[in-house]
Structure 1
Amino acid sequence: MPKTMICVRNDYNPINADQEASYKKNDSITENQAHKPNDMKHEVTSEQLDSIVEDQAQQPDGNKIDIGSQLAPPIEAKFVIVGDSVGKTNLIRVFCQREFVEGMPVTVFDEGTMNITVDGQRVQVGWWDTAGQEDYDKLRPLSYPNTDVYIVCFSIVYPDSFENAQEKWVPEIKKHCHPKIPIILVGTKKDERNDPNILAELARFRQQPIKYEEGQAMAKCVGAITYLECSAKNNDGVTEVFEAATRAMLSARNRTKAPKKKKGKTPDACKPM
């Protein structure tokens, strides 16, 4: 399988709750900004060309990618990450910078770009990290227009966030987006599922961590295309989240180009969990 190539954003600087007043005063998000990720000029230097050729020479024949596709401008896409305060910012930070921050300040809003190559296709992703607090329910939808994939996150060790994924986050994005836009459900903090201290704390409230099977069932219920688990702290499953989102975007775009087929029977609606 072709390697994943990531372009790290060097100016990562999320807006946190301490900057909220200035943020709202300056009205930093406009609808026009929300409609389009940052532009990035596409240039290929001789050094990049040499690197591509050298990389291809080291690949097995079955994994070689057409060099022309490497030189072509990447496809542009937009991913929006939503959910309670469950480690969304660290999920992005670990993917972009390979850096996990303990006690990450609450993010009000942040956005940036990254380049990723999946299955031979180069994609420039504009990502949007949204606030999970109720105070920003009116502000958050400004980031939704023209989204290609929604990544809905909950914490495996915070059952309330799991319920909110179904009762708040999926309904909210479906209200503002086309029904066929892919949704990926992600359980964060996988590393804490068997932590004795966390298990003891959950037991006090007669709760327990969310099981993998419950996440799968939830994904099916809300119409997500897949369910994934990750640990940003251990960098476990993080890359898989963004690879899955990229493949979902590419698949959705390919479907829009394909000839329309006759509609089949509509599946039964899922029952409340």
Structure 2
Amino acid sequence: MQAIKCVVVGDGAVGKTCLLISYTTNAFPGEYIPTVFDNYSANVMVDSKPVNLGLWDTAGQEDYDRLRPLSYPQTDVFLICFSLVSPASYENVRAKSVKYLECSALTQRGLKTVFDEAIRAVLCPQPTRPQKRPCSIL
């Protein structure tokens, strides 16, 4: 079984922990408790392949900006989260995202798709295009 490390990042109070709890337990948490760091795990099948998905929850508050990168080594995929009701949280991730997928931790609509696509990004990476360098004429 392939192990995949997935780190979830984004501003504070955008729903990162709710996303992970809802995905791993099929239940939405009742109260907001800010996270410093937490880990979850899920054994799943994606495209008929068994995967152990290690889920790393990170603190979104600025106070933890220096600690957050400690969870990054050996990460296979990042989920960059924002809240639809917080335009500032969207602006903070707009330049970093690769593929936009909308989901609801509360109703679980689209939730499995988000994690399946994260796993696929690791199992079947898209080829990167070489960047063209601008030509300078002197």
TM-score (norm: length of structure 2): 0.87
Quote the sequence identity (%).
Answer: 46
Give the letter for the 2:131 counterpart. T
More helix by share: 1
Q: Aligned-pair RMSD on alpha carbons?
A: 2.1
More strand by share: 2
5+ unaligned residues in a row in structure 1: which ranges? 1-73, 171-218, 256-262, 269-273
Shift of 1:164: 1.1
Shift of 1:83: 0.1
Question: For residue 266 of structure 1, what is the aligned residue in structure 2?
Answer: 131
Tell me the matched-pair count: 132
Question: For residue 97 of structure 1, what is the aligned residue in structure 2?
Answer: 25
Structure number with the bigger relative contact order (C-alpha 8 A, sep ≥ 6) is: 2
> Per the alignment, in what secondary structure is the counterpart of residue 113 of structure 1?
strand
Q: Deviations over 1:210-235 (max 9, x none)?
A: xxxxxxxxx4xxxx1x1100111111
Question: For residue 136 of structure 2, what is the aligned residue in structure 1?
Answer: none
Structure 1's consecutive aligned runs of 4 or more residues displaced over 6 angstroms after TM superposition are none
Question: For residue 86 of structure 2, what is the aligned residue in structure 1?
Answer: 158
113, 117, 123: which one pairs with 1:240? Answer: 113
Shift of 1:240: 0.6
5+ unaligned residues in a row in structure 2: which ranges? 134-138
Question: For residue 9 of structure 1, what is the aligned residue in structure 2?
Answer: none
TM-score (norm: length of structure 1): 0.45
110, 122, 126: which one pairs with 1:249? Answer: 122
> Per the alignment, in what secondary structure is the counterpart of residue 107 of structure 1?
coil
Q: 1:147–1:265: structure 2 CA closer, same or farther, 3 Å change rule? A: closer
Question: For residue 231 of structure 1, what is the aligned residue in structure 2?
Answer: 104
Question: For residue 117 of structure 1, what is the aligned residue in structure 2?
Answer: 45
Question: For residue 78 of structure 1, what is the aligned residue in structure 2?
Answer: 5
Larger Rg: 1
Shift of 1:239: 0.6
